[in-house]
Amino acid sequence: MKTAITTLFLMLFTLLAAAQQGRIDIEQDPQISQLLQLYKTANSEANFYTIQVGFGSFEKAQKLKSDAAIDFPGWYSKIIFDSPTYRVHVGRFPTKLEAERQFIEVRKKYPESLILTPEKKPR
């Protein structure tokens, strides 16, 4: 009985020791990285309407942001420091109409919220 258990143990150990190590190499066109960087730059400079759900101390802003992420999953959210308070912005809406439609729902949960228009950048 001991020899059978020992043999079984040695067989399992041998199988585990002989297991192959995998390696994956991904070849990616270098233009994909450039395209991704261009997309990030264009998206960060784009003007979107956003909704401010509240403001206050950093702790309050963190709580607001996490609550908004639960209430509106998948929406962009960000904490902005505007001295002396932290402001929580949610959503990125390309048109005012879309922002106003979503604002109706946000206002039910956050009555102090307001729509922020995109800043005009000088050319």
pLDDT 10s digits, 10-31: 776 676 665 567 788 888 888 8
If 0-12 CB within 10 Å is exposed, 13-18 middle and 19+ buried, where does residue 56 land? middle
In a domain, 100, yes or no: yes
In a domain, 19, yes or no: no
Q: What per-residue confidence (pLDDT) applies to 17?
A: 60
The tokens of 57 are what? 């101390």
CA distance 52 to 87: 7
In a domain, 27, yes or no: no
Q: Find the CATH number of the domain harbouring 47.
A: 3.30.70.1070
- Give the mean model confidence (pLDDT) for residues 79-97: 92
Query: Could you tell me the maximum CA-CA distance found in the chain, to the nearest angstrom?
Result: 86
Q: How many domains does the chain have?
A: 1
Mean predicted lDDT score pLDDT of the chain: 85
In a domain, 76, yes or no: yes
- Give the H or E element holding residue 114: strand 114-116
Residues 118 and 47 sit within 8 Å (Cβ to Cβ): yes
Residues 54 and 113 sit within 8 Å (Cβ to Cβ): yes
- Give the mean model confidence (pLDDT) for residues 36-63: 86
The tokens of 117 are what? 């228009």
Q: What per-residue confidence (pLDDT) applies to 120?
A: 66
Q: What per-residue confidence (pLDDT) applies to 57?
A: 93
DSSP, res 86? E
Task: Pick the more confident residue, 72 or 22.
Answer: 72
CA distance 90 to 66: 11
pLDDT > 90 in the chain, percent:
52
In a domain, 81, yes or no: yes
Q: Could you tell me the pLDDT band of residue 60, with boundaries at 50, 70 and 90?
A: very high
Q: What per-residue confidence (pLDDT) applies to 47?
A: 84
Residues 115 and 98 sit within 8 Å (Cβ to Cβ): no
Task: Give the structural domain span for 76.
Answer: 39-116
Q: How wide is the angle at C-alpha 14 spanned by C-alphas 9 and 15, nearest 5°?
A: 100
